[in-house]
Structure 1
Amino acid sequence: MHKLKHTMETKQAYIYFLAVIMGIIMGISSTSIATFFKEITTPAIIILMISMFCQLPLNSLKSQFTNLKFIIVLLLSNFILIPILVWLLITIFNIHSGPIQIGLYLVLLMPCIDYVIVFTSLGKGNAAMLLLCTPLLLIVQIILLPVYFTIFLTHNVNNYIEVTTFLLAFIFFILIPFIFALLLQKFSHNNKGLDNLNHVMSWLPVPMMALVLIAVIASQISFVLKDLTVIYQIIPIYICFAIVAPIIGNLCAKLFKLDIELRRTIAFSATTRNSLVVLPLALTLPQNIAITVTAIIVTQTIIELIFEVIYIQVIPKLIK
């Protein structure tokens, strides 16, 4: 069983590609199928978030600071240098649409806390060190998101986002699952039932991510196909980001004289984004905006997965 779980995790990029294809086929083949997947999207995302948070070492926050230099580089690259890159790309590609800006900033400013661990391991980085830092990454990005929106958006965010609805979505989809996972980890050591539940949760992130991709794409694809101009606008931005972001991460790590393994780790973290966490927030936006923002996030996920397959081959050869 452990071998099956390991195979599922190491091959997850291919599983997600298959899920994307299945979502597209099912979404365009039947409106009733699309409606069904729309109904199950919310519970699927909640289960995904809980299972994902259960994999984070939430009770090990104090032990993160064993390598302070790595923490500084991780935060500097993800929360200062990468946001500057994102702003530059959006400016260079002349993106003025409020919904498109929201979608791009929402997905590109948030560093990944889940499958980046597996890809870092496959790319010969220090996955254990990055895993230890995931709670810190999650907390910092949640705090900084409204700050980024205030600084970078050229439109008044209140024209597009109902702050109360957005806040409720954050509480419902992120805060409550986070607290649930924290409590489950804290008390599972002394309770066999909770320990079994925690073990079950460890199996769910990959299949639930696949299910969420199918559900979101199947329920939204018909709307996306009506306006492909948005997709054409953002693909060049994602490709440029995927090329430049790991270079920035590596140079930052090299400047601070981190070892080879940690430089690879920073490169993976700098380029891999947190689409899982921001997706439920996107789905709570007003429908006309939510369709655009969701399409932007899903497109980023697809392009990112393509590049991750490249990264695990190229990064170990270039950073050595």
Structure 2
Amino acid sequence: MSRDALERHQVWIYLAAILCGLAAGALWPALAPGFEALLWPTLAVLLYATFVQVPLLQVGAAFRDRRFTVAVLLGNFVLIPLLVWLCLPLLSDDPALRLGVLLVLLVPCTDWFISFCQLGRGHTAKAIAITPLNLLAQLLLLPVYLWLMLPANALDTTAIMARLLPAALGLIVLPLVLAGVTERWIDAARPRAVWRARLAWWPVPLLAVVVLMIAGAQVNTVLSAGPALLAVLPVFVAFLLVTSLLARLVARVMRLPLEEGRTLAFTMGTRNSFVVLPLALALPAGWETAAVVIVFQSLIELFGMLLFLWWIPQVLFRNKAA
């Protein structure tokens, strides 16, 4: 199987992994501690392999097309946070569920967004160029968004931050730094580029292992969260629809070419679920629903991207001259 085929079928791979994890957790509960112990190092390797694919040392490339950059920043970090804030009254009062929704919807994707952009006839080069800027901006702005959108009495802020900061440093910042060092090492000699290509195979199978272990370790939480997940399903579906329409509006106002408009739609529609997943998993006992919500959203998004591959190039950003 080629890597392109692997990425095209990733939604079914993740779905199968979740079902296998649920079955394993239900049949052999004693596996749960092992899943939890292996989950953290697997997540760290997953994030490292993914960050290596992001041109971290080429952040300046995003600013070469200022109009496109402004459109992406406006869409991802102004309009979408406003949209998410407007969605909050539609959610239940469960703070874990709300936190999970906020974590996953507020951060734009930095991995499969590029693959779907390429398949959806977007501007792949500009998608790659804008990715490190998206990543750095979300790491800086996510704490601000959470502080603004979560009511002060919804959670013990001190206890939550005491859990989130070590997770962010150990499972996001450290892999990010190592990926930057690796990128510099690879760029120093042309033959070393093969290592980036090899690491590009890792994210899909590693993410499948991660969701399998989460499902196996949290099988009771997943089953008990069923009604809550069904309640949040319309929000995630509506998010995909509304973000695509917002992308069309922003592209028209900014007068973006079709390929750049499609790229904008894919970056606004895809979210960085696996980057915020470690943060949700680091929360205290009783907050497991947040991680389940994040995994659930990623599945809804992947199915939504299958529709986007038709909806974006054939309807919203159709080439009328073709």
Q: Bin the TM-score by the shorter chain.
A: over 0.9
Q: Which runs of 4+ in 1 moved over 6 A?
A: 191-194
Equivalent residue, structure 1, for 2:256: 258
Contact persistence 2:11–2:299 (CA under 8 A): no
**Structure 1 residues 54 and 157, CA gap change in structure 2 (3 angstroms):** farther
Deviation at 1:304, TM superposition (A): 0.8
Is residue 144 of structure 2 the alignment partner of residue 147 of structure 1?
yes
> Could you tell me how far 1:104 is from its partner in structure 2?
1.0
* Aligned with 2:289 (options 292, 299, 308): 292
Please list the CA deviations of residues 227-267 of structure 1 after superposition, one character each: whole Å capped at 9, or x if unmatched: 43321321121121121111111211111010111111111
- Cα distance in 1 for partners of 2:196, 2:305 equals 28
What residue number does 2:64 align with?
A: 66
Which structure 2 residues correspond to residues 1-320 of structure 1 after superposition, within 5 A?
4-91=2-89, 93-156=90-153, 159=156, 161-190=159-188, 197-289=195-287, 291-318=288-315, 319-320=317-318
Structure 1 residue ranges without an equivalent (≥5): none
Distance 1:154 1:162, change over 3 A: closer
Residues in 1 aligned to 2:191 and 2:23: alpha-carbon distance in whole angstroms: 40
* Larger mean Cα displacement after TM superposition, 46-55 or 306-315: 306-315
* More displaced 10-residue stretch of structure 1: 29-38 or 280-289: 29-38
Letter of the aligned partner of 2:255 in structure 1? K
Per the TM alignment, residue 202 of structure 1 is displaced from its structure 2 partner at its CA by: 2.2
| 1:177-226 per-position Cα deviation (integer Å, ceiling 9, x unaligned) | 00000011112244699766544322211111111111112211222212
Distance in 1 (CA, whole Å) between partners of 2:120 and 2:189 is: 36
State the TM-score, normalizing by the size of structure 1. 0.93
Secondary structure (helix, strand or coil) at the match of 1:125 reads coil
**Contact 1:184-1:194 at 8 Å conserved across structures:** no
Quote the Cα distance in structure 1 between the aligned partners of 2:101 and 2:64.
34
Aligned residue for 1:203, secondary structure, equals: coil
CA contact (8 A) 1:13 1:309 kept: no
Paired amino acid for 1:316: P
Unpaired runs of at least 5, structure 2: none
Task: Say what the alpha-carbon RMSD is for the aligned residues.
Answer: 1.9
Q: Is the 8 A contact 1:230 1:292 kept in 2?
A: no
TM-score (norm 2): 0.92
Q: How many Å separate the matches in 2 of 1:49 and 1:165? A: 19
Name the CA distance, whole Å, in 2 between partners of 1:158 and 1:192: 50
In 2, the alpha carbon distance for the partners of 1:220 and 1:193 equals 43
Which amino acid is the alignment partner of residue 185 of structure 1?
Answer: E
How many Å separate the matches in 2 of 1:144 and 1:190?
32
Task: Give the % identical residues.
Answer: 32
Instruction: For 1:177 and 1:235, locate their aligned partners in 2 and report how far apart those are by CA, in whole Å.
Output: 32
Mapped to 1, the partners of 2:226 and 2:8 lie a distance apart of: 32
CA distance in 2 between counterparts of 1:237 and 1:292 reads 16
CA deviation vs aligned residue, 1:59-94 (integer Å, no higher than 9, x gap): 212222121101000000011101111111112x15
Give the deviation of 1:288 after TM superposition: 0.7
Distance of 1:27 and 1:250 partners within structure 2: 43
User: Aligned to 1:288, what secondary structure does the other structure show?
Assistant: coil
